[in-house]
Structure 1
């Protein structure tokens, strides 16, 4: 089995979760982990399972303005790159089963979720989503990850291997 984990991360937390999920997946799959800027177009994904991870910005997926603000707070002076939102909008049919996670502020009880926004977009395109969206907690907007979240992400990766359709 081949798995691809594609993520967007600004403060490193969503990337840490991506690597932890990949660690769990490696118990039964060959896994590649890519920042969304380095990911192939959706129509060219060559995997048996795709895992998508995104940080929750302003109740959903990041936008150019929210990415620019995050990059400034992180001290990154590069021009903001496209995120998961733009990657999903690229042309190309995706038939690979997908699982989705996000990172979001632990302290907030706000209802927004990048993962739910991704799932909604995938379902509109008739892409098979094999698990409910998973959420990993971050302290504040910049992190760090809450205690135990990397371990939970590794376990979630293992669980993805046994899901029907994955």
Structure 2
């Protein structure tokens, strides 16, 4: 899938950044986006990070790297970085991952609402 979704709401109360793992890290475009954040530019913004990955013995952790960059930018991380598993290098999501994503999203929304 080739998609970049960036949505700026009128409320601006939640930032979620995700990426497939690409060479043990986020994709180059997400890495570039994160490097442009600057220290403190996300101060006061609630944020969360996720990645999609293939279930392997050894794999990268793009979600953790994204979360680290968001925190360095001043964001308040409201959830642990979340991996979602895919079948093969291009998906689709493995069984159970859509439900896992729905549950994670509900927790994010509840955190923002409180």
> When the two structures are superposed, what TM-score results if normalisation uses the length of structure 1?
0.57
2:13 counterpart (48, 52, 61) = 48
The two structures, once aligned, show a CA RMSD in angstroms of: 2.6
1:103 counterpart (45, 49, 52) = 52
Which protein shows a greater Rg?
1
> In the aligned structure 2, how far is the partner of 1:115 from the partner of 1:86?
15
Alignment check: 8 A CA contact 1:130 1:165 kept: no
Q: Which residue of 1 aligns with 2:25?
A: 60
- Deviation (angstroms), 1:91: 4.8
Q: Which residue of 2 aligns with 1:84?
A: 30
Gapped runs of 5+ residues in structure 2? none
Alignment check: 8 A CA contact 1:99 1:129 kept: yes
Detail structure 1 runs of 4+ shifted over 3 Å in the superposition: none
Q: Residue 86 and residue 151 in structure 1: after superposition, are their counterparts in 2 closer, same or farther (change >3 A)?
A: same
Gapped runs of 5+ residues in structure 1? 1-10, 16-34, 64-82
> In the aligned structure 1, how far is the partner of 2:59 from the partner of 2:112?
28
SS at match of 1:109: coil
- Deviation (angstroms), 1:125: 2.3
> In the aligned structure 2, how far is the partner of 1:49 from the partner of 1:112?
25
Answer 1 or 2: higher relative contact order, Cα 8 Å, separation at least 6.
1
Q: Which residue of 1 aligns with 2:68?
A: 120
